[in-house]
Every structure is written in C-alpha cells, then in structure tokens.
Amino acid sequence: GGLEGFDVQNQYGKRALDKFYEHLRTRRDFPVSLSCVGRRKRWAEWNAFYKESENALASIGIKLVTDERYDESLKESKTLNAFLNRILMLEPGTQNAMFEAVHALYAFEVRADQEAGLYDAGLETLNRRFGQSVRVEVASREVLFTDPKTGAETTYVRLKVDRGFPWDSAAKLCESRCEEVRGDGWYWWRREDADQAPALAVACPARAANDDDDEDARLFVLYTPREGALERLPGCKKRLT
C-alpha cells in the first residue's frame, strides 16, 4: 500500500481523479468497494465518506474540479501532483482512504479499457491486440533457404489472424460502458458489397468539454463479430444502418 510504487501520472490517473471528484460532488454510487467504507468500517455509509473527504480536501485548498480527464497526453498532471502532495497534510487514515479511492478508480478504468480492447500495454505477444485476445493459426509453411553447412532453415510462415470480438465480451462491454452518451448501443453494420452484421458502438471519452453537446463530433469504436474493434469513427449513426 501507500503512495510509493504506484505511478498514476498517465491518462488513467487523470480520469480516476476526475471521477473521484465527480463522485464527491454528485454523491453518485461508487463503482467499486473500498476497505474503509461499509459495515463496521471507519465510514459506515458512502455519504459520510463523501462528506468527510470533501471537507478534508477543502481544508487543504483543493477544489473538486479538473479538466484533465480530457488530456490523454504523457505530460504530468498538475492537478494530480497537487492532490498527491497536499493529502500528505491530512491525518493518515483520511490520506490512505483517498488514495485507495483514486487507486480503485484507476484500476476500474484500466479494466474497462482492457475489456473493450482499447488498453495498450506496449509490446505484447501476437495473440493479443490492445489487451483483447486474438486467434492466430498457422496457414502454411515454406522453407525458403537451407544452409548447406549447418542445415539451418529460413522458413516463411503465413499466419491466419482472427480479430473478431466474442459475443460474451461484447455483451459485457455493453453492460459496463454503454448508455453513458447518446448513440451508444447495438446497430446493424453494413459495408459496401457485404452483408449486414451486428455491431456495438461505444463512445470514446470526450476530448473537450463541449463534445457531449455535439453528437456528430464524438468518436465511437465499433465492435463486430468478424473484425473486432474497427477504427474510431465520428458520428456512428451516420455510418451505420
């Protein structure tokens, strides 16, 4: 536990802190459980935790507002730095509870992107794509060259890759991420000279504060059974039938 050994200075950390502040402002249900909230815990009810957290942050000069959830760049977040530095002035129990809350929301956001196939963990094996399983089969093998001295072979291997998105994953993704903005949900997808296929449209996070007001400006990821996650398209309703 503690603050050391956990780097939140990335897009998920920015989202997590913004979500935490949003829950404190709106008193909405927290999406994950915390070890400090519940029966026989320090805070028996979420409203009590929200109220004390809000008062504690106000006492160290932190306002519950941040625009950095729209910032997915690699630059450090000043809001996150202020939060992490200033909560050290609070008593340990409150300090640890707040960090646990942000940490839990961080993990929640990462898990959601992993399930959606949008999480990029860097270099991965061939049978993974943005955190989503990909089916890989060997279609053919051909020996192109054999070293006459060592017998070592240079072999051309042709692979068959199926990036389709499983129905169970699509249903779970729909349940956890849809209905957040207008346009999310199931559609029939038709490409030129192709049959209709079901597609799940999931809105990407807004990049600017007014994106929610302009539906055509929002980006959507389309998931299809045969092709998995397609490119991000603006205004999904205009691309789907």
Which has more pLDDT, 134 or 44?
A: 44
Q: How far is CA 66 from CA 18, 20, 165, in A?
A: 6, 10, 34
* Cβ atoms 169, 189 nearer than 8 A: no
Q: How far apart are CA 109 and CA 119, in angstroms?
A: 10
Q: Which of helix, strand or coil describes residue 123?
A: coil
Residue 33 has pLDDT above 60, yes or no: yes
Q: How far apart are CA 56 and CA 99, in angstroms?
A: 13
Q: How far apart are CA 223 and CA 230, in angstroms?
A: 6
Q: pTM of the full predicted structure?
A: 0.54
Query: Per residue in 127-170, pLDDT tens?
Result: 555 445 667 778 899 999 999 999 999 999 888 776 667 777 77
61: left (phi over 0), alpha (psi -120 to 50) or beta: left
Q: What single-letter DSSP state applies at residue 11?
A: H
Give phi and psi for 124, each to the nearest 5.
-135, 170
Q: How far is CA 62 from CA 4, 93, 102, 139, in A?
A: 22, 18, 15, 58
Structure-block tokens of residue 58: 């106000």
Which has more pLDDT, 65 or 97?
A: 97
